[in-house]
Structure 1
Amino acid sequence: MTQLTRRKFVAASGVAGSAALAGCTGGDSSDGDYTIEIGTLLPESGQLSGIGTTMVDAADLAFSTVDDGADSLGVDATLGDSQSTPEDGISTANNLANSGVPAVVGGASTNVHISAAEQVFIPNGMCACSPSATAVSITQMADDDLLFRTTPSDALQGQVMAEYATEEMGAQTAAVLHVNDDYGSALSGAFVSAFEEAGGTVQQEVSYETAATSYTSRIESAVQDDPDLLSVIGYAESGIQLFRDYYAQYSASRDIMTVDGLNTARIPNEVGREMDNVVGTAPMAQGPGRDAFTSMYQEEFDAEPGPFNGATFDAAAVLMLANAAAGENDGAAISEQMRAVTSEGELTVSPDNIAEGVEAAYNGDDVGYQGASSQVSFDDNGDLVTGTYEVWAYAPDTERGIETIETFTV
């Protein structure tokens, strides 16, 4: 979007980072009394770029709305590309820290978020709010109350997956193929536990690597006992080859359940199949500010918001509100305000009046944010109190390419 020309973009390291910075005029903000410093750690490139690029758009929409609309303050946003890997994510996070950024929207994937949090965010006292890192293990991290997220924990998604699989799909046996990282392992574990509690039997739980050129042997191991349901937990780029390998050898009538990492219309297009035997689950934008955000996003990008876009806007909005309320670019001070600005306040703030809300928070007024993705209410661990999920299917004939079958609130 046009506002990127006045913002800074930080790649992981080296020549790429220098080139990106040289091409922009970052650091300028509105003439005002105070400048909010904020950054992103989102996947502009790599395995998750299919959803990451629109997440960057959603974050920058929040930044530019406040920067353009507030009179007494401005926003200086540093956009960092995690390149979808923990190693690059750590490098980019270090660049953000070295630039003095006190608060970050991200990381996006669980493995990037945990690595960046442990090695950069927490040691440097940076407040981070992830819109899409869902692993159960994040809840238990010793984080000095610096980590928050606007997406619900996988503990909830595992329940939704199991409930739909047993009650709506009639599955009594299942096998799981999951990516071999914190996200895949944790969500697989949550699903297995909930499925077995519901009376089902999990026959196989098989991991796979994203860099593999063939997934045939891993698929064979997973389906060797002919399960009623195959659950595939992973990401789009490797998922395309995985599903190509599956359909080359196995029945297109077997029920398959996948997750938010493959919630993109490009999957069936690049696999070359309708994939009408596949359903998935994903956190769903069902917040009070959803309609306002959707309208803003459509006007700016002439497109429907994608996965985690509402949660990304919310993460950016809450961090800016907390920064303004704190009145200082300090991670610990921002963290102390995160719950206050998402509780009930005299001024209800939503995506459509976020600039007014941030200015009010800076002036010491009592504000309460109601998000695009959810109500946005944090518990003691920085997790959302409730979560809404959709069960979705690929729908190539629709504008979005995805259709919602059912919704669950947990």
Structure 2
Amino acid sequence: MNKKVLALAGSLLAATALTGTAAQADVKIGLLGGITGPIAAMAPAMLLSAELAISEVNAQGGIGNGEKLVQVTGDSACNPQNGTDAATKAVNIDGVVGLVGPHCSGAVIAAANSVAIPAGIALITPSGTSPEITNLKDNDLVFRTVPSDDYQGRALARSLKEQGMESVAVAYLNNDYGSGLANAFKAEFEAIGGKITAFAAHEGEKASYRSNLAELAKGGSDTLVIFDYGDGSGLTMLREALENGFFTNYVGADGMKSDAPIKELGANNLGTFLASAPVGEKSDSLEVFAKNFKDIGGDPDAVFVTTSYDATFLMALAIEKAGGDKAKVGAALRELTSATDGEAVMPGEWSKAKALIAEGKPLVYKGAAGTYNFDAAGDVPGVYALFKVGANGFEKVADMK
């Protein structure tokens, strides 16, 4: 990730410190990111894409009668307690009318149950993927622009079989993210004839996982699937597996598609490493977003940047339609994404969307990652791809179905 991206994303925290002097009419939304913790390398690009959406809103008329949309940035640290604390501050102290994030599933579940749902605040996560989020009793307040890991785990299982991998060992982080992915993967891989030679949970942030890896290797497979985070314990596990030659092939999901393994271990040592991740559907909207994001120093291929942008733009649309009333934002979001025959709105077209809302006309938001029509649980289907590590970072190997 280049220095410009990190500097711009870091400015989000500085901007938050200034919100206390903002005009009272400003409309605040919470951006709860994994700024520290196991996805710290991913978070700056995700926050930067959210900032892009906010800047477009403010440059094209703002909210309501010209009120500015102001971000209140909190660090959920991919941790349930931190997620709850960040959401509590955003809702109860800063007075946000909606939440974008947290980034990680455990923090999403905790923040939703402890803060958002009791307060009647709509929450959209761009990257919380655990199937457990689907089961929240959320009063139709919790949504996500990224698919459940039930989709990803099963799609990855099918893709590995297509790649000729008949048996695998599975290591997964013992949290909502890791267990959700692992169980979906295992069910599908075995259903289509694959063999799981070992299947074990591990705790995060241990100094070493050599004993775990030795047990996993006893099953005899040459392929290890790691459902973890590439900035945290997943990196440690991958490093030690490579150093000790426990396996030949390595596979991760979106949490492992991070720059950290490449920087720490070297691309030349990751020639047999594959990772899955959601990708935007090829569309004019994706091209528009990619250009605009590049213009501010962003990498449009970074993981979750399209879903982060869309979550923020959708939240702004819902706030506009709700007239800034936080009690109506969830219902407004549901209504906005239920239309199928409205006028198309693409990324960056805030003034057009604002006019359509003012005129009471339906619109269809064709986002960077796709068109959104949330199901009853606030979930969406998704498009995934399998990536390998090349000379210039992650390169797509194949689409996943």
TM-score between the two structures when normalised by the length of structure 2: 0.90
SS at the partner of 1:133? coil
**Cα distance, 1:394 vs structure 2:** 1.1
- Aligned residue in 2 for 1:197: 191
- Aligned residue in 2 for 1:154: 149
Asked if 1:45 is matched to 2:36, the reply is: yes
Q: How does 1:59-78 map to 2 (within 5 A)?
A: 59-70=50-61, 72-73=65-66, 74-78=68-72
Amino acid across the alignment from 1:55 = M
Q: Which has the higher contact order (CA 8 A, sep 6+)?
A: 2
- Aligned residue in 2 for 1:233: 227
Structure 2 unaligned segments of length 5 or more: list them. 1-7
Q: Deviations over 1:295-354 (max 9, x none)?
A: 1100011544410000000000111111111113314x1111223222335331111313
- Is 1:37–1:76's contact at 8 Å kept on the other side of the alignment? yes
- Aligned residue in 2 for 1:56: 47
- Is 1:132–1:311's contact at 8 Å kept on the other side of the alignment? yes
- Is 1:70–1:356's contact at 8 Å kept on the other side of the alignment? no
**Cα distance, 1:180 vs structure 2:** 0.9
- Is 1:285–1:373's contact at 8 Å kept on the other side of the alignment? yes
**Cα distance, 1:264 vs structure 2:** 2.0
SS at the partner of 1:155? helix
Q: How does 1:173-192 map to 2 (within 5 A)?
A: 173-192=167-186
Q: Greater shift after overlay, 186-195 or 230-239?
A: 230-239
Q: Distance between the aligned counterparts of 1:35 and 1:82, measured in 2?
A: 24
- Aligned residue in 1 for 2:297: 301
Q: Distance between the aligned counterparts of 1:81 and 1:45, measured in 2?
A: 7
- Is 1:3–1:64's contact at 8 Å kept on the other side of the alignment? no
- Aligned residue in 2 for 1:222: 216
Q: Distance between the aligned counterparts of 2:115 and 2:240, measured in 1?
A: 38
Asked if 1:408 is matched to 2:384, the reply is: no
- Aligned residue in 2 for 1:256: 250
**Cα distance, 1:223 vs structure 2:** 1.6
Q: Distance between the aligned counterparts of 2:277 and 2:301, measured in 1?
A: 14
- Is 2:19–2:70's contact at 8 Å kept on the other side of the alignment? no
Asked if 1:133 is matched to 2:128, the reply is: yes
Q: How many residues align?
A: 386
**Cα distance, 1:2 vs structure 2:** 9.4
Amino acid across the alignment from 1:100 = G
- Is 2:197–2:221's contact at 8 Å kept on the other side of the alignment? yes
Q: Distance between the aligned counterparts of 1:87 and 1:3, measured in 2?
A: 22
- Is 2:126–2:308's contact at 8 Å kept on the other side of the alignment? yes
Asked if 1:103 is matched to 2:98, the reply is: yes
- Is 1:8–1:26's contact at 8 Å kept on the other side of the alignment? no
Q: Distance between the aligned counterparts of 1:70 and 1:251, measured in 2?
A: 57
TM-score between the two structures when normalised by the length of structure 1: 0.88
- Aligned residue in 1 for 2:205: 211
CA separation of 1:27/1:393 partners in 2, compared to 1, >3 Å: closer, same or farther?
farther
Q: Distance between the aligned counterparts of 1:370 and 1:3, measured in 2?
A: 29
Counterpart among 251, 273, 279 of residue 278 in structure 1: 273
CA separation of 1:356/1:275 partners in 2, compared to 1, >3 Å: closer, same or farther?
same
**Cα distance, 1:381 vs structure 2:** 0.7
- Aligned residue in 2 for 1:339: 334
SS at the partner of 1:126? coil
Q: Deviations over 1:339-380 (max 9, x none)?
A: 322233533111131343135324533222111012122111
Q: Distance between the aligned counterparts of 2:171 and 2:21, measured in 1?
A: 45
- Aligned residue in 1 for 2:74: 80
Structure 1 unaligned segments of length 5 or more: list them. 10-20
Q: Distance between the aligned counterparts of 1:303 and 1:230, measured in 2?
A: 29
C-alpha RMSD over aligned residues: 2.2
- Is 2:167–2:196's contact at 8 Å kept on the other side of the alignment? yes
Q: Distance between the aligned counterparts of 2:329 and 2:32, measured in 1?
A: 18
SS at the partner of 1:387? coil
Q: Distance between the aligned counterparts of 2:10 and 2:76, measured in 1?
A: 21
SS at the partner of 2:251? strand
Amino acid across the alignment from 2:209 = Y
- Is 2:27–2:96's contact at 8 Å kept on the other side of the alignment? no
Q: Distance between the aligned counterparts of 1:222 and 1:297, measured in 2?
A: 41
CA separation of 1:264/1:199 partners in 2, compared to 1, >3 Å: closer, same or farther?
same
- Is 1:67–1:355's contact at 8 Å kept on the other side of the alignment? no
**Cα distance, 1:247 vs structure 2:** 1.2
- Is 1:203–1:225's contact at 8 Å kept on the other side of the alignment? yes
Q: Distance between the aligned counterparts of 2:102 and 2:399, measured in 1?
A: 26
Q: Greater shift after overlay, 138-147 or 235-244?
A: 235-244
Q: Distance between the aligned counterparts of 1:380 and 1:212, measured in 2?
A: 39
Counterpart among 353, 369, 373 of residue 377 in structure 1: 373
SS at the partner of 1:314? helix
- Aligned residue in 1 for 2:3: none
Q: Deviations over 1:125-166 (max 9, x none)?
A: 110001011111111111111100000111111111111111
Q: Distance between the aligned counterparts of 1:259 and 1:380, measured in 2?
A: 26
**Cα distance, 1:239 vs structure 2:** 2.1
SS at the partner of 1:377? coil
- Is 1:70–1:359's contact at 8 Å kept on the other side of the alignment? no
Q: Deviations over 1:150-193 (max 9, x none)?
A: 0011111111111111122x222221101110100010000000
**Cα distance, 1:3 vs structure 2:** 11
- Is 2:168–2:196's contact at 8 Å kept on the other side of the alignment? yes
SS at the partner of 2:221? coil
Q: Distance between the aligned counterparts of 2:137 and 2:144, measured in 1?
A: 15
